[in-house]
Structure 1
């Protein structure tokens, strides 16, 4: 896809969301048409003017992305468009944990991320870590079947199309440079922690016997350590971008160099990135032959917490995670006096149970190291040739390559390595080296017929789309490291032999390889009559490698139409500049079955490459005999998840472009859900196999609105808002659900909380009270008392609002984002409200001071000595809303008028200050309500960032 967007004189694209508004319109028909006919990028080289598009889509301009201090552009999209929910589940620098959902939950057990397309080449979300947001010209979010069905087997979860910048013909050479520097701070929580003195007083009262208690002086003078200051810090962010554009008669070039660096608010986390891009577009003298190429190279390094990779690692050692320990560490303990774990071990050996925060300090000071390097290359070439005035042939081929290296170690001089070493062996420590290569080839060929006659226009296209993917992974793990010679990732310091345990230091080596592919051919047709009526149709045949031959191919299709009501004679002289009714219906497929881990390319998800094949493994059986066993039972009947979507929408612009907006209603039904099928275990030893069963529906409404209050040459002011509501419902599942906290049940919403209802405190005894399954009071609930709550951790509502304004060079842009309707279980608060933590070294909330006592009966907090303490673990006592409104970004600055720069070698200069995530309004007690997860465990909060910068053009 080689799409170039027409650049407006005001430097803005028309879209219904946050964007700069166009120049003042003259009150004539020509001006109206010119301003309305902005380009919507749909993919596969296809574009449409806003007035003629039949799709539900939103186009976001570069203005929304520029100068933002985010490593990934996805963070900058939150609140900027309806129908797309974006939640950053980690504020760790360079993290790939960004959850993106288009129109709700598309599956129960499969990938739910949208398809990403950069300059016509499909890719996965982690590639954006190495994509410079300053290179992006526009982003189109495609939501309905009219826009997404053309992508067939990968479009069930929506499509995000990214178009990078290009030069302009006959524009000469221009040079630009931009620089931003800022700092980040950690947000506050609302857990109301006790002080060191309060902690010791509580221990005296409820934990220690008469001979173990702290003295009055020890209570009053207890240390009061703020562990956040030990684990967190002020982060720093800087980015610098150099751009060059050139335009001759038949060739245009855009080139850029970028550098981004961020130190995280948690010690030992950081990210840095170098990027290079070169985009070339050209044409022949007669314009019949056009060509282009895009090359993007990225290299990044990052350090992150080990728990960022694995929830199981977090649960195994929760207090060794600084995100936990900053809240749960006991406040009456002084910070560690040791700079090295070996000194800590020398004095305490393995007697560290009451000094776990010191272990955490050693971890983030180098006791555990987790470093990544990534190299990425995206490149493509394309051409198109007009065989006749009506017939064009085109081709695009590209590659998407990413290599990632991880070096993880439990350093031999770290405290954890020293207490974990085996027996009398002198060396501890573990180093694990991982290398992955992900290489994708995409080739697209098309033949297009386009002809206009009279008031009729017809375009018909035929396409062939081929994808080949190769994935390779290697892992090497060494136990036993010599602290005198070891250096992370260098291969030195490996201990070769243990005299006491000969196999202890033998390395473990693993490797895997996956080859995947997909092939599709499809046809499109578009018809327009007089700009008044339009119809589009598409049929696509898709084949995917991961299904058996009987189920490998499937057909997807879509039809759509529009009625430009403003073109009718009866609308002559109306207040409407544009009024368009559109509707679509179509089908998509989802071949990305199974949940991907760490944002791996879903096309090569190893967990689902053997769906229809039996997999055998060798193992030791009875009497130590080697045997061959069945580890995976394949199912040749596994097939695609399929989706049907209906959409109806209305686009409008009125009062001479004073007011503009749109509204959409959709129904999306997913059938053949990828799931587990129950089978007899008599012959296989397995109770379930992978298969398809069940049906789910999402329906909702989306809308956005912009009102241009002032639109004069020297004074502009606009306000805008967008929002969406999605209702999810499981229509069919052939099995019930187990008595667990989070379930999927027929007739209810997906991922629903299934909990016992908390009913407060018995005012006479201080015991906790609950409602049993019949609604009666009980103090001893069991699993049979769980009920479906009608609440899920996925939000139902999301959106954004803000303003854009400028006055004589001074400008201001403000964006608020919001979400509502989601519920999470606050695990940290559960721990803080557990009085047993006083005896295990955990901190507690001062809310416990309001616990029931004979003199404090009117409280909802049970007695600290209640007999049924712990019975609330399966109740909704700690289930809280994650609703929030966030000041997502605010930018203030000044653009110098060109006249003031006349005697300088520059043509443009802009100075600005900017803030990100500055204020969040929420009832959530934790550090950040944004991450979408069932349990609030280890949350690396999204930081508050303040930055200043400038952009200069030569």
Structure 2
């Protein structure tokens, strides 16, 4: 008891003594470069929440105990820690931190810093990604980068997205960018057969950052595959000297569609059908919304378990990822199990670094039959789902649509994909020449797929056959490249040299096997495709006096897709930069960063969808329908002989070449609290690889892929980043990007005929109809329509079109190029807020000047959709109530609708619990929360601009839990 009283007495004495020891310190925080006061600087006692910030004049006052550490931090400046020793006044001078500008950015076969980059290069890091239950990696950066437009293909389970960098540069060839994952370029045609998305093999939670190379001066180092830009993906690999860290993440989600096709309900249908002569006895007694019947709430879960540790010379990261995602269409399911590993080991005092990245993935797709969407749109709404016997209701006529629920229940379509992606890298600095490094990269992307599809016979047609099909395949992509890099600061000429030269070889092998049976028709076929690419490349960069930048690159590519005469192509690139901020006359400027850039380059295109277009090939017949009967056997049965058919070819097929010019300015204000970039580009593609008609008898086919024509595009990209607030308890940063773009076909025939055009953009309604046009002077996505005539009340007059050529008759000559599917401009707007342990971020995307052709309305928005069907009645599109059309008006411009939109794409609210041993963050995320648009169809964001049987996008709500131990 005595001891306790003594201790209590000591405490009573010490507490006031401690309180009395606390002192008040004040001072001014200034900028070392110009001695100007800095407002808003955080002045915090380390390890506590006690602190303040400087006022407009840079002054602060703080209560502090002797021996405590004062932490002074401000965006763009090096943080200082000062031990308090009883001073009454403590003035602090902060030095600008160049780390932001010195941030390393990957470029082709090397790296640079933001301040030294001369090409149009944009990096999007992990902290900037969209949040939620993201399965397709490309969705991480939707709306995040100027000039990059990502359009999801719909709401299907495991669905990917279309990536367009500066709008694409081709017609018939691919417009997808080249994607390089940890140094391994993947096949631009997709990494595995049967997959909805080539990038699904990459776990989004395993990605460190994306680097987008946009202009030709940056992409020319990738030569023949870089016309549509390049995306470099770097995955997480852990860090050196890192304690063991265990992480578990869970994202549980629900998914529902946000809209359905506008059709008549049962009462509207009965009224309209009966008024036009349909016997009421044919109506059912139900009121069925067939789209509600086929769409359900999809449930999903994503699990990530990660372990990482770093030693002085070795670090590793191991991740297991499980994804289960249901699509809203009943029975649609995607599952992924992935094991992702990375190992980094450093030898010889860090002169030798070995990196192994390996991942094994198994994808499982249970495909729901997308045809059920069209069946649900057309099916009679008065019919019940099942008849009185419990069987699915059918319409009975041979050409009638099947009951969509019957289709979904009786179709079994599955695909299993096993894929391994591995990359081994050696990085070695020579002991005898410290400025010289050698880098070797060996990679493989190997995938096997195995699947089957069983589809029932049309229950309305007794002569129809069920379908049974098996498929399997193999994709193998192997790559080996190496390069030498010499980097040295030559003081005598005040110049830093960075020189790279190397060689690359890549081979693609694809085998597909098909075994299909539908009644007497049997198809057994094996296709093997193989192509290779060999390349030599070099780049030289010069940083003169830390002010003037020059970079030149050259690549020589040889592709097996072209004949020996046209096999090799050359792709140069050149860019310059001027770091004005380092000029003496800019020292007192209000700019904190200012750089001018300009670039030029030539890139290529070889993804033409075929490997042997320059060779004369013969194709064997694949089923009895393509064989020829030669007599009969002894039993009187016909004898069929297999045929060999010559295929069309162009022996002069060669590279598609794209030349691009780029000028830009990078700027920063207020110590880089506000930064931005403006890029302007002009691009021209010549020797277009396009599939065009040829005169009869001039080749062995009526359509051939050849080099013809040219296309130009131009645009302006604006990106602005701001740190609005940076306090200890509150932070707010924002990003806004705006892109203007324009594209035009300038030539489409070898004869330079300005009136030559090619119809494209196939639509439903009739056979072989197209709604878009390729024609010189127009965007490739331009629509080709008749100009609709309207009455005095603004209603369209059926079959009445403008006689454009004045010949008093409406013919194909009166169809006109009108509007386009690609936008004139698109935006992304992101805000990130932080308040104590809460965080909130959201991203808006917008598109302006784009149009959509509503093919569902043009095909089915008429009375013929009800009464004109052979032996059955069907539901029309609800537009019939406005137009009162009796028949199809497929080519009327009334169905071309403006599709501007602003979409709240992603919003996430999180809270980090202040536990000591375990870090826990809980989050609630919603995607596709709402869309503001005047378009009255299903969705204003349709990739090709034609709405027909589109799988609706979903609104996802995601609960996330992330534990770090």
TM-score normalised by length of structure 1? 0.83
Aligned partners of 1:79, 1:776: CA distance in 2, in Å? Answer: 47
Equivalent of residue 487 in structure 2, options 450, 456, 459: 450
Give the deviation of 1:626 after TM superposition: 6.2
Preserved contact between residue 545 and residue 552 of structure 1 (Cα < 8 Å)? yes
Give the deviation of 1:147 after TM superposition: 1.4
Aligned partners of 1:770, 1:794: CA distance in 2, in Å? Answer: 28
Equivalent of residue 611 in structure 1, options 605, 610, 614: 614
Aligned partners of 1:157, 1:420: CA distance in 2, in Å? Answer: 50
**1:314-393 aligned within 5 A:** 321-337=371-387, 343-344=391-392, 351=396, 356=401, 359-365=403-409, 367-387=410-430, 388-393=433-438
Which stretch of the first structure deviates more once superposed, 682-691 or 914-923? 682-691
Query: What is residue 927 of structure 2 aligned with on the other side?
Result: 916
Query: What is residue 131 of structure 1 aligned with on the other side?
Result: 202
Query: What is residue 394 of structure 1 aligned with on the other side?
Result: 439
Query: What is residue 760 of structure 1 aligned with on the other side?
Result: 790
Query: What is residue 59 of structure 1 aligned with on the other side?
Result: 123
* 1:787 corresponds to 2:806: no
CA RMSD of aligned residues (A): 2.8
Aligned partners of 1:786, 1:382: CA distance in 2, in Å? Answer: 57
Query: What is residue 478 of structure 2 aligned with on the other side?
Result: 441
Give the deviation of 1:352 after TM superposition: 5.3
Aligned partners of 2:644, 2:669: CA distance in 1, in Å? Answer: 70
**1:21-32 aligned within 5 A:** 24-26=75-77, 30-32=95-97
Query: What is residue 822 of structure 1 aligned with on the other side?
Result: 850
Preserved contact between residue 132 and residue 908 of structure 2 (Cα < 8 Å)? no
Give the deviation of 1:479 after TM superposition: 4.6
Aligned partners of 1:338, 1:415: CA distance in 2, in Å? Answer: 22
Q: Aligned to 2:439, what secondary structure does the other structure show?
A: strand
Equivalent of residue 539 in structure 1, options 533, 554, 563: 554
Query: What is residue 333 of structure 2 aligned with on the other side?
Result: 270
Preserved contact between residue 628 and residue 641 of structure 2 (Cα < 8 Å)? yes
Query: What is residue 224 of structure 1 aligned with on the other side?
Result: 287
Once the two structures are superposed, what CA deviation does each residue of 1:429-462 show, in whole Å capped at 9, x if it has no partner?
A: 3321111110011001111111112232101111
**1:858-869 aligned within 5 A:** 861-862=883-884, 869=887
**1:370-769 aligned within 5 A:** 370-387=413-430, 388-410=433-455, 414=456, 416=458, 419=461, 429-454=466-491, 455-479=494-518, 504=520, 507-594=522-609, 607-615=610-618, 617=620, 630-676=645-691, 681-682=696-697, 686-687=701-702, 689-734=704-749, 735=753, 736-737=756-757, 741-761=771-791, 767-768=797-798
Give the deviation of 1:523 after TM superposition: 1.1
Give the deviation of 1:299 after TM superposition: 0.7
Aligned partners of 1:728, 1:953: CA distance in 2, in Å? Answer: 48
Structure 2 unaligned residues grouped into runs of 5+:
1-72, 79-92, 191-196, 632-639, 760-769
Q: Aligned to 1:873, what secondary structure does the other structure show?
A: coil
Once the two structures are superposed, what CA deviation does each residue of 1:388-446 show, in whole Å capped at 9, x if it has no partner?
A: 21111221101011112221012xxx563795567xxxxx6332111111001100111
Aligned partners of 2:839, 2:792: CA distance in 1, in Å? Answer: 59
Aligned partners of 1:25, 1:846: CA distance in 2, in Å? Answer: 58
Q: Aligned to 2:312, what secondary structure does the other structure show?
A: coil
**1:246-325 aligned within 5 A:** 246-307=309-370, 321-325=371-375
- The higher radius of gyration belongs to 2
* 1:121 corresponds to 2:175: no
* 1:50 corresponds to 2:114: yes
Query: What is residue 797 of structure 1 aligned with on the other side?
Result: 825
Query: What is residue 31 of structure 2 aligned with on the other side?
Result: none
Once the two structures are superposed, what CA deviation does each residue of 1:786-811 show, in whole Å capped at 9, x if it has no partner?
A: 1121x222223222113111011111
Preserved contact between residue 611 and residue 634 of structure 1 (Cα < 8 Å)? yes
Preserved contact between residue 611 and residue 690 of structure 1 (Cα < 8 Å)? no
Query: What is residue 85 of structure 2 aligned with on the other side?
Result: none
Once the two structures are superposed, what CA deviation does each residue of 1:208-245 show, in whole Å capped at 9, x if it has no partner?
A: 3xxx3469xx99xx532222221000111111101111
Q: Aligned to 1:32, what secondary structure does the other structure show?
A: coil
Preserved contact between residue 912 and residue 948 of structure 1 (Cα < 8 Å)? yes
Aligned partners of 1:753, 1:339: CA distance in 2, in Å? Answer: 49
Query: What is residue 163 of structure 2 aligned with on the other side?
Result: 100
Aligned partners of 2:795, 2:317: CA distance in 1, in Å? Answer: 74
Query: What is residue 104 of structure 2 aligned with on the other side?
Result: 39
**1:871-910 aligned within 5 A:** 872-897=889-914, 901-902=915-916, 905-906=917-918, 908-910=919-921
Distance 1:895 1:203, change over 3 A: same
Aligned partners of 2:327, 2:728: CA distance in 1, in Å? Answer: 42
Aligned partners of 2:796, 2:902: CA distance in 1, in Å? Answer: 36
Preserved contact between residue 373 and residue 405 of structure 1 (Cα < 8 Å)? yes
Give the deviation of 1:330 after TM superposition: 2.6
Query: What is residue 82 of structure 1 aligned with on the other side?
Result: 146
Once the two structures are superposed, what CA deviation does each residue of 1:17-47 show, in whole Å capped at 9, x if it has no partner?
A: xxxxx97343877433123321211132x11
Structure 1 unaligned residues grouped into runs of 5+:
1-21, 308-320, 423-427, 481-503, 595-606, 851-860
Which stretch of the first structure deviates more once superposed, 434-443 or 69-78? 69-78
Distance 1:53 1:891, change over 3 A: same
Give the deviation of 1:610 after TM superposition: 3.3
Query: What is residue 43 of structure 2 aligned with on the other side?
Result: none
Distance 1:776 1:336, change over 3 A: farther
Query: What is residue 64 of structure 2 aligned with on the other side?
Result: none
Give the deviation of 1:781 after TM superposition: 3.0
Distance 1:54 1:635, change over 3 A: same
Give the deviation of 1:763 after TM superposition: 7.0
* 1:72 corresponds to 2:132: no
Aligned partners of 1:920, 1:747: CA distance in 2, in Å? Answer: 32
Preserved contact between residue 564 and residue 579 of structure 1 (Cα < 8 Å)? yes
Preserved contact between residue 913 and residue 921 of structure 2 (Cα < 8 Å)? yes
* 1:112 corresponds to 2:175: yes
Distance 1:507 1:338, change over 3 A: farther
Aligned partners of 2:713, 2:693: CA distance in 1, in Å? Answer: 26
Which stretch of the first structure deviates more once superposed, 64-73 or 741-750? 64-73
Which stretch of the first structure deviates more once superposed, 292-301 or 764-773? 764-773
Q: Aligned to 2:97, what secondary structure does the other structure show?
A: helix
Distance 1:188 1:741, change over 3 A: closer
Q: Aligned to 1:326, what secondary structure does the other structure show?
A: helix
Relative contact order higher in (CA < 8 Å, ≥ 6 apart) = 1
Q: Aligned to 2:616, what secondary structure does the other structure show?
A: coil
Aligned partners of 2:702, 2:795: CA distance in 1, in Å? Answer: 47
Distance 1:677 1:563, change over 3 A: same
Aligned partners of 1:185, 1:338: CA distance in 2, in Å? Answer: 31
Preserved contact between residue 190 and residue 925 of structure 1 (Cα < 8 Å)? no
Give the deviation of 1:170 after TM superposition: 0.9
Aligned partners of 2:536, 2:382: CA distance in 1, in Å? Answer: 68
Preserved contact between residue 781 and residue 944 of structure 2 (Cα < 8 Å)? no
Aligned partners of 2:794, 2:234: CA distance in 1, in Å? Answer: 67
Q: What is the aligned length?
A: 836
Give the deviation of 1:726 after TM superposition: 1.2
Q: Aligned to 1:63, what secondary structure does the other structure show?
A: helix
Q: Aligned to 2:205, what secondary structure does the other structure show?
A: helix
Once the two structures are superposed, what CA deviation does each residue of 1:608-639 show, in whole Å capped at 9, x if it has no partner?
A: 42333343657767987969765213222110
TM-score normalised by length of structure 2? 0.82
